[in-house]
């Protein structure tokens, strides 16, 4: 039996498949018909229907889809975010939840992996000592008053993280260069030579704006055999800065790593496909709809303002037909019309009336005022706009309430469900950003701190370069998730810890606090109560809130 399939169009005429077929040598194959009158098993493959016939996208590589049009998409997205309140609010909400004012380091060296590989005295006690020392030194570096962590000495590390995340949301990627500046050590209490400089992703491009090639993709130089990123080509100035026209036409080749393993390029973007080398904005899929919605808001506001400004007008007793009739009559009728028109003008000039600076129409005999009824804003405007904002919600992962800051349509259950779903997306964004940007910055600093001998290490411990991943393992604490009900949800947190489903560390991280600092502070407060001879409150009991609820229930049961 012949396995080939003869493809026909809607009129039954043969269509070429584009591939050689054994059928051409052995005769025409049988026609495969699909129930329902079409030869396409999947409607998505239909090329004859009204809906699908003109929909013919190309199959291209991600670089071919993004890189040639990247500047245009970014320019449009920036303009939208600058001028549209909803877009600006969406970016702000994501930044406030993912980064906040800063991301807090929680060092967690992998002592188990270090012990398994190097057989040293690596244990939980050492990891705790290492964590405390690393976090204290990192705070001094990242929050330096002199901003020595920044090449430009403008931002703290937390502020750099926030700006890099903003670039990622709007431009599609965050980009930074690492510098080694030993001349800064000792100046202004600066203790480290490692510095970070944020770079606008626009400056990452092919030299002389050339097209992509086999080993050059959107400014990223790659290895032709493995696809490994080798170097980045950075324009020395923005392309449209006329006062830096010379530098704007010069590119610097920066390797991703120096020969000694020092990371030079930190490039973070969301990869949607394999083989992708540049990122796109989170707003790109909804940019056209967002722009139309912004225009709709503007048109509604203009129409409402126009209707308010032109709400009344003066109606003359002479309509156009009467005027035409008078002009076609004898001279006496025309003269009468002229006299009346002059009388109207004189009447208006001699009797101007104003109220609070607004001129009030003064009517001549025979005239009256007619009001204009306006249908703006439309009665369904609010519901339509609320529905359209679902586009922002779907694309950004935020709920409508977070975007609009309007919670009037939400009850407790729906608000909690919406926030829980959006929190998953926000935590995914935070996890990807910290893995691709924040942790590499920490690793750069940690290498220098360890080479300076500032961190506790057991005898025979390997150098940083021998185990960079194990030493740099960490978590980042961001803004708190918060509680909708500050009574029910903390009680649930206590129950999870009592059941062994959570720890104080995990619950504290969800609320953006360090559990050790909480424990230390509680110890200080308990001692303060004891020093003053005061009984500690029940919440300060070391047995925890579980015993507190239990004691309350027992006391109530014993009450007669």
Q: Is residue 35 part of a domain?
A: yes
The string of DSSP codes covering 128-154 is HHHHHHHHHHHHHHHT-TT-TTBTTS-
Per-residue pLDDT at 61 exceeds 90:
yes
Burial (Cβ within 10 Å: 0-12, 13-18, ≥19) of residue 293: buried
Q: Is residue 241 part of a domain?
A: no
pLDDT band at 391 (very low <50, low <70, confident <90, very high): confident
Task: Tell me what pLDDT residue 544 has.
Answer: 41
When pLDDT is averaged across residues 474-492 and rounded to a whole number, the result is 78
Question: Is the four-CA dihedral 150, 156, 161, 165 of positive or negative sign?
Answer: negative
When pLDDT is averaged across residues 468-495 and rounded to a whole number, the result is 82
Cα separation, 169 vs 163, in Å, equals 10
Residues with Cβ within 8 Å of 397's Cβ and at least 6 positions away in sequence, in order, are 94, 422, 424, 425, 426, 429
Question: Is the four-CA dihedral 475, 477, 478, 480 of positive or negative sign?
Answer: positive
Cα separation, 501 vs 497, in Å, equals 6
Per-residue pLDDT at 82 exceeds 80:
yes
Per-residue pLDDT at 195 exceeds 90:
yes
Q: Is residue 146 part of a domain?
A: no
Q: Is residue 220 part of a domain?
A: no
State the virtual CA torsion across 187, 188, 190, 195 in degrees, nearest 10.
-80
Strand (E) or helix (H) holding 194: strand 194-198
pLDDT band at 558 (very low <50, low <70, confident <90, very high): very low
The string of pLDDT tens digits covering residues 111-152 is: 999 999 988 789 999 999 999 999 999 999 999 999 999 999
Strands (E), 199-335: 216-217, 220-222, 229-235, 251-255, 265-268, 312-315
pLDDT band at 525 (very low <50, low <70, confident <90, very high): confident
Phi, psi of 482 (to 5 degrees): 85, 170
Task: Tell me what pLDDT residue 173 has.
Answer: 96
The pTM of the full predicted model, rounded to 2 decimals, is: 0.74
Task: Answer whether 2's CB lies under 8 Å from 8's CB.
Answer: no
* Closest of 164, 173, 158 to residue 100, by C-alpha: 158
Task: Tell me what pLDDT residue 180 has.
Answer: 95
When pLDDT is averaged across residues 228-241 and rounded to a whole number, the result is 93
The percentage of residues in the chain with a pLDDT greater than 70, rounded to a whole number, is: 75
Task: Tell me what pLDDT residue 139 has.
Answer: 94
Last residue of a domain, one of 56, 88, 103: 56
Task: Tell me what pLDDT residue 308 has.
Answer: 64
Higher pLDDT residue, 289 or 26? 289
Range picked from 12-21, 180-189, 193-202, 334-343 for highest mean pLDDT: 193-202
Cα separation, 1 vs 466, in Å, equals 64
Per-residue pLDDT at 182 exceeds 70:
yes
At 26, list the tokens.
Answer: 């052995």
When pLDDT is averaged across residues 392-411 and rounded to a whole number, the result is 78
Task: Tell me what pLDDT residue 406 has.
Answer: 74
Cα separation, 206 vs 195, in Å, equals 26
Range picked from 56-60, 163-167, 348-352, 482-486 for highest mean pLDDT: 163-167
The range of the structural domain enclosing residue 38 comes to 1-56
When pLDDT is averaged across residues 189-210 and rounded to a whole number, the result is 92
pLDDT band at 204 (very low <50, low <70, confident <90, very high): very high
Cα separation, 242 vs 256, in Å, equals 29
Mean pLDDT of the chain: 80
**Beta-strand pair 104-107/251-255:** unpaired
The string of pLDDT tens digits covering residues 28-50 is: 555 455 455 567 788 888 888 88
When pLDDT is averaged across residues 335-359 and rounded to a whole number, the result is 65
Per-residue pLDDT at 363 exceeds 80:
no
Higher pLDDT residue, 316 or 500? 500
Task: Tell me what pLDDT residue 550 has.
Answer: 45
DSSP secondary-structure letter at 203?
A: G
When pLDDT is averaged across residues 330-347 and rounded to a whole number, the result is 65
When pLDDT is averaged across residues 339-358 and rounded to a whole number, the result is 66
Q: Is the peptide bond prior to 377 cis by the omega test (within 30 degrees of 0)?
A: yes
Residues with Cβ within 8 Å of 298's Cβ and at least 6 positions away in sequence, in order, are none
When pLDDT is averaged across residues 180-194 and rounded to a whole number, the result is 87
Comparing 21-35, 96-110, 351-365, which segment has the lowest mean pLDDT?
21-35
pLDDT band at 54 (very low <50, low <70, confident <90, very high): confident
Comparing 239-243, 313-317, 409-413, which segment has the lowest mean pLDDT?
313-317
Burial (Cβ within 10 Å: 0-12, 13-18, ≥19) of residue 429: buried
**How many CB atoms neighbour CB 295 within 10 A?**
11
When pLDDT is averaged across residues 281-291 and rounded to a whole number, the result is 87
Q: Is residue 168 part of a domain?
A: no
Higher pLDDT residue, 183 or 361? 183
What is the tally of structural domains in the chain? 3
The string of DSSP codes covering 83-105 is H-HHHHHHHHHHHHHHTTT-PEE
Question: Is the four-CA dihedral 333, 339, 344, 345 of positive or negative sign?
Answer: positive
pLDDT band at 19 (very low <50, low <70, confident <90, very high): very low
Higher pLDDT residue, 27 or 354? 354
**Beta-strand pair 312-315/368-371:** antiparallel
Last residue of a domain, one of 356, 371, 386: 371
Last residue of a domain, one of 371, 397, 420: 371
Cα separation, 32 vs 47, in Å, equals 16
């Amino acid at each position: 039996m012949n396995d080939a399939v003869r493809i026909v169009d809607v009129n039954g005429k043969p269509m070429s498949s584009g591939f050689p077929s054994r059928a051409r040598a052995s005769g025409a194959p049988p026609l495969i018909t699909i129930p329902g009158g079409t030869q396409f098993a999947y409607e998505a493959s239909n090329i004859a229907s009204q809906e699908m016939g003109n929909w013919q996208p190309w199959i291209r590589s991600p670089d071919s889809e993004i890189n040639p049009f990247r500047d245009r998409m970014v320019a449009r997205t920036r303009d939208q975010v600058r001028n549209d309140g909803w877009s600006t609010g969406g970016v702000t909400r994501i930044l406030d939840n993912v980064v906040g004012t800063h991301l807090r380091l929680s060092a967690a060296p992998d002592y188990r992996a270090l012990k398994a590989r190097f057989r040293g005295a690596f244990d939980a006690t050492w990891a705790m000592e290492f964590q405390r020392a690393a976090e204290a030194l990192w705070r001094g570096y990242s929050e330096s008053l002199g901003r020595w962590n920044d090449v430009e000495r403008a931002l703290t590390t937390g502020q750099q993280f926030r700006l890099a995340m903003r670039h990622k949301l709007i431009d599609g990627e965050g980009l930074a260069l690492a510098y080694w500046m030993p001349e800064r050590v000792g100046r202004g209490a600066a203790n480290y030579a490692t510095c970070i400089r944020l770079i606008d992703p626009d400056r990452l491009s092919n030299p002389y704006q050339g097209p992509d090639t086999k080993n050059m993709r959107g400014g990223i130089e790659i290895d032709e055999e493995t696809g490994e990123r080798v170097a980045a080509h950075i324009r020395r100035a923005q392309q449209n800065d006329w006062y830096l026209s010379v530098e704007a036409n010069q590119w610097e080749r920066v390797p991703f790593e120096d020969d000694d393993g020092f990371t030079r390029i930190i490039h973070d973007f969301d990869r949607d496909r394999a083989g992708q080398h540049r990122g796109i904005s989170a707003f790109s899929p909804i940019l056209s709809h967002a722009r139309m919605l912004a225009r709709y808001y503007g048109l509604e506001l203009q129409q409402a303002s126009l209707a308010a400004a032109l709400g009344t007008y003066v109606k003359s007793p002479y309509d156009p037909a009467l005027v035409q009739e008078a002009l076609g009559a004898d001279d006496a009728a025309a003269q009468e019309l002229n006299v009346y028109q002059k009388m109207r003008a004189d009447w208006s000039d001699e009797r101007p009336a104003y109220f609070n600076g607004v001129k009030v129409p003064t009517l001549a005999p025979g005239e009256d005022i007619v009001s204009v009824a306006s249908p703006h804003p439309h009665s369904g405007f609010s519901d339509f706009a609320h529905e359209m904002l679902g586009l922002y919600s779907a694309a950004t992962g935020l709920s409508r309430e977070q975007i609009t800051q309007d919670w009037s349509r939400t009850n407790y259950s729906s608000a909690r469900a919406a926030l829980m779903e959006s929190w998953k997306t926000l935590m995914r964004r935070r996890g990807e950003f910290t893995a691709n940007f924040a942790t590499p910055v920490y690793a750069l600093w940690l290498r220098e701190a360890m080479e300076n001998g500032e961190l506790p290490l057991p005898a025979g411990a390997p150098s940083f370069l021998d185990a960079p991943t194990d030493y740099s393992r960490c978590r980042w604490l961001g803004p708190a998730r918060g509680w909708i009900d500050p009574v029910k949800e903390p009680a649930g947190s206590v129950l999870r810890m009592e059941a062994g489903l959570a720890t104080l560390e995990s619950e504290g991280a969800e609320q953006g606090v360090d559990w050790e600092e909480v424990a230390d502070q509680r110890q200080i407060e308990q001692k303060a109560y004891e020093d003053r001879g005061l009984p500690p409150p029940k919440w300060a009991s070391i047995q925890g809130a579980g015993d507190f609820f239990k004691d309350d229930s027992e006391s109530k049961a014993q009450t007669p």
